[in-house]
Amino acid sequence: MDAILVVNAGSSSLKFQLFATGGANDLEVLVKGQLDGIGSRPRLRAAGPDGATLIDRTYPSHDIPDLPAATLAVGDWLRETQRADLIAVGHRVVHGGPEYDRPVLVDVGVLSDLERYCSLAPLHQPNNLAPIRSLLARRPGLPQIACFDTAFHRGHDALADHYAIPQNLYAEGVRRYGFHGLSYEYIAERLRQIAPAAANGRTIVAHLGSGASMCALAGGRSVESTMGFTALDGLPMGTRPGQIDPGVVLYLIAEKGMAPATVQDLLYRECGLKGLSGISNDVRELAQSADPRAAFALDYFVYRAGLHAGMLAASLGGLDAFVFTAGIGENSPMMRARIAGKLAWLGAVLDEKANAVSEPLISPPESRVALHVIPTNEELMIARHTQALLAESGRAGTAAKAS
């Protein structure tokens, strides 16, 4: 059986899914898992399509000290346990820069290009590229496809794409890219299936997790996003501040004497919900805390979500639907209810009972704005792109299996 492996690499974890190709459902999940705690307490967990546990194994830290070692461990386990011929690997890559506006077959030159954007996504890009580099060295004949979080937004109007800076900087790539594009692309496709009116109308999708952003869709196409040049902008996040006056950065460097690398670490790792609360970047922990700083952090998140929803509604000229997705959006009725309350001026009404049990539609018929809860599936989107690019290049089912 031919199969595609999808890899989503983070700073200390490697998420993966194995998809069979060519079946009745075209792409069928065979395995879903992750290896987390890399370098500290490595643990490999995976389940089959029915949710049954296939492995739950811990390793000594020195056995899996980094992402290349994690990639090798996952690959070894899949080869030992799955009767599948691997024809390609699809990767989530956060930043495609100005050159890459669609999935691409990776070679050494492409990898070198993508390494230039590591400073624009330091939490993600180096980790996204590490498994690609490792596999290129070990299995150079195996096709690897990079799928970009920025690509879905590349059709923005120039007015949405620009900063008010000299044109030569825009030409160099200093522009508003937007991120979480694989998630938004999946939601846009799902809306066509389950809510055609929303898919054809004016919709805001809120990807709310440790990383958080919102996207305005007009007829299923991205027209505006809360994120810009990097994944720091827009909504407050688990450890990132979201929208912040650039003068704050200048102040930290010029007046506080902080080195640029220290400021970068502060903005990516010590701000957001973690910085505001001084407790945690996890909404679940903050919701259970009696500390007033935890309540303030959640209040701030909700307030800013409401402000950005208003901005995106203005870009659309109104609002027909609002979609909650990702970790917080899919799993926190409390946060959904609070954010929905900020949409009341647009005509949104929450069905509290439907929201409490996370129904796909959490608004009553009289609501002028339909409120949806749709689980995202970035890995399926990557698998689809990988399969399509293999077909276009004529490499599907090639000798990559034997490489």
Question: Which residues are designated catalytic?
Answer: 149
Q: In whole angstroms, what separates CA 244 from the centre of its chain?
A: 21
Beta-carbon contacts of residue 65 (< 8 Å; ≥ 6 apart): 38, 39
Q: Encoding tokens for residue 32?
A: 């879903």
- Which residues is 16 bridged to in the sheet? 7, 33
Alpha-carbon distance 120 to 327, whole Å?
24
Alpha-carbon distance 385 to 105, whole Å?
11
* Strand 202-208 versus strand 321-325 pairing type: parallel
Sign of torsion, CA 71 72 73 75?
Answer: positive
Beta-carbon contacts of residue 3 (< 8 Å; ≥ 6 apart): 18, 19, 20, 21, 30, 82, 84, 85, 86, 87
Residue of 315, 267, 273 lying closest to 296 (CA atoms): 273
